[in-house]
Amino acid sequence: MVGAGGVGDALAKIAARRTFFEAMVVSDYDLARAQRTVAAVTDRVDAPSAARFSAAHIDASDADAVAALATEHQITHVMNAVEPAFVPTVFAGALAAGADYLDMAMSLSSPHPERPYAQTGVMLGEAQFAADSIWRDQGRLALVGMGVEPGLSDIFARYACDELFDSVEELGTRDGANLVVRDDDGNEIFAPSFSIWTTIEECLNPPVIWEKDRGWFTTPPFSEPEVFEFPDGIGPVECVNVEHEEVLLMPRWLDARRVTFKYGLGAEFIGVLRTLHTLGLDSTAAITVRSPAGPVEVAPRDVVAAALPDPATIGPRMTGKTCAGTWVTGTRDGRPREVYLYHVSDNEWTMREYGTQCVVWQTALGPVVALELLAAGTWSGAGVLGPEAFGAQPFLELMARSESDGGYGQAWGLRDSWAAPTDA
């Protein structure tokens, strides 16, 4: 695993309870951070299980370093849990080592130089899909976008297309939460529950939409606002279009007239992002900052990330739930149908059970389930593939089955216009 931040730390803690793998090397540029994750796993599981984990230093920007570490430990699967800016090097390093690869965020996009809010430029994952034939020729699998969104949302889409609909009008990922973070005095504070670096990238880039008669196209940020009713007490949240991998993944394997992604950001978060953009603080290009010690080259976005609380540390001060799901419309047996398939993660539960806040825990769950299916041979393939390229039933069954019966104990919900909401 490359990266021991919030998601990587949660992933190791979830994996520690499973028996499908022989060893996991937790690597990070900051060796102490990787060691903390290994120590946390050691504290929470029995010694034989903890002995499977080790920590290592790695420079994720160096493909040769990734390949060398994977080769040294005879790694079969490289799990990318770092910022998407490092996807190209971790992706290349895994292939060079002859290992399979998984990530939760795909290679970055760049807007169209002349019409950014109408036409796509370089799209998310485009660089990875361009290497599909190389991975297939070598018999290696790169499973891209296998987190929660993307990831579980794509699994839900595959399930809906296979089991619930004859024809699909729209596959729409919808993400919302009622999370609140407070300071030591109990005052609500602005503290994003996921990497602000990634959030800025997603939310300020031109959102992508796919339609069967148009292909992929873009709109301005925060377009097409709608109020979506989220389950489990979260309630109504205003959602807006955001650039996200599902829109680039689902049309490659699933038949729908339209594919969208909308995120429940809220007015305050949108206001902050707009301000950052206005001030140029969303930029990744280094600028010169003069200080008493002399000029320093720094990227404004890195300054913003450094100034905010680390998402991995805010769990004890956070309350509420987060919901990831896929809203699907279409027809079945000639009748209109509308469903929302979803998974809810409660911060109080994840903190109590894993010592990890709910957003990063939910993101980390999908990759572990996928790795277990790959280890068992239930899922298999070669090339660059998204989650919807695989059967959804085994994933959802393993995820929902109780822990006492060998599953993960994570029920998923189905809200159906034909019936009252039920738990699966």
- The rounded distance, in Å, linking the Cα atoms of 15 and 147 is 14
Query: Is residue 228 domain-shared with residue 296, that is, in the same domain?
Result: yes
User: Beta strand pairing status for 167-177 and 141-143?
Assistant: unpaired
Provide the token pair at 228. Answer: 């979506």
Query: Is residue 119 domain-shared with residue 165, that is, in the same domain?
Result: no
Which residues of 363-403 form beta strands (DSSP E)?
A: 383-385
Query: Is residue 216 domain-shared with residue 257, that is, in the same domain?
Result: yes
Q: Which of 305, 314, 265 is nearest to 6 (CA)?
A: 314
Q: Is the sign of the CA dihedral 128, 67, 11, 270 positive or negative?
A: negative
Query: Is residue 116 domain-shared with residue 159, that is, in the same domain?
Result: no
Whether 383 is covered by a domain: the verdict is: no
Q: State the total domains in the chain.
A: 2
Whether 378 is covered by a domain: the verdict is: no
Query: Is residue 64 domain-shared with residue 104, that is, in the same domain?
Result: yes
For 156-175, the DSSP string reads HHHHIIIII-SEEEEEEEEE
> Which pLDDT belongs to residue 172?
98
Whether 405 is covered by a domain: the verdict is: yes
Whether 305 is covered by a domain: the verdict is: yes
Whether 83 is covered by a domain: the verdict is: yes
The residue length of the chain stands at 424
DSSP state of 206: P
Q: What is the CATH number of the domain that holds 82?
A: 3.40.50.720
Classify 419 as helix, strand or coil. strand
Task: List residues bridging with 330 in a β-sheet.
Answer: 168, 337
Query: Is residue 105 domain-shared with residue 214, that is, in the same domain?
Result: no
> Which pLDDT belongs to residue 48?
58
Say if CB 192 and CB 263 are below 8 A apart: no
Query: Is residue 18 domain-shared with residue 161, that is, in the same domain?
Result: no
Of 110, 143, 176, which closes a domain? 143
Query: Is residue 127 domain-shared with residue 214, that is, in the same domain?
Result: no
Say if CB 106 and CB 82 are below 8 A apart: no
Whether 193 is covered by a domain: the verdict is: yes
Whether 208 is covered by a domain: the verdict is: yes
Query: Among all chains, which residue has been given the structure tokens 């490359």?
Result: 2
Query: Is residue 183 domain-shared with residue 301, that is, in the same domain?
Result: yes
Q: What is the CATH number of the domain that holds 267?
A: 3.30.360.10
> Which pLDDT belongs to residue 189?
78
- The rounded distance, in Å, linking the Cα atoms of 180 and 402 is 29
> Which pLDDT belongs to residue 423?
55
Q: Tell me which H or E stretch contains 270.
A: helix 267-278
Residues lower than pLDDT 70 in the chain:
45-48, 419-424
Say if CB 393 and CB 412 are below 8 A apart: no
> Which pLDDT belongs to residue 267?
80
Q: Rounded to the nearest 5°, which phi and psi values hold at 225? A: -65, 140
Of 109, 143, 177, which closes a domain? 143
Query: Is residue 174 domain-shared with residue 138, that is, in the same domain?
Result: no
Say if CB 342 and CB 324 are below 8 A apart: yes
Query: Is residue 330 domain-shared with residue 399, that is, in the same domain?
Result: yes
Task: List residues bridging with 328 in a β-sheet.
Answer: 171, 339
Whether 300 is covered by a domain: the verdict is: yes
Query: Is residue 220 domain-shared with residue 255, that is, in the same domain?
Result: yes
> Which pLDDT belongs to residue 92?
98
Which range marks the domain in which residue 262 is found? 152-358+392-423
> Which pLDDT belongs to residue 201?
79
Of 93, 108, 143, which closes a domain? 143
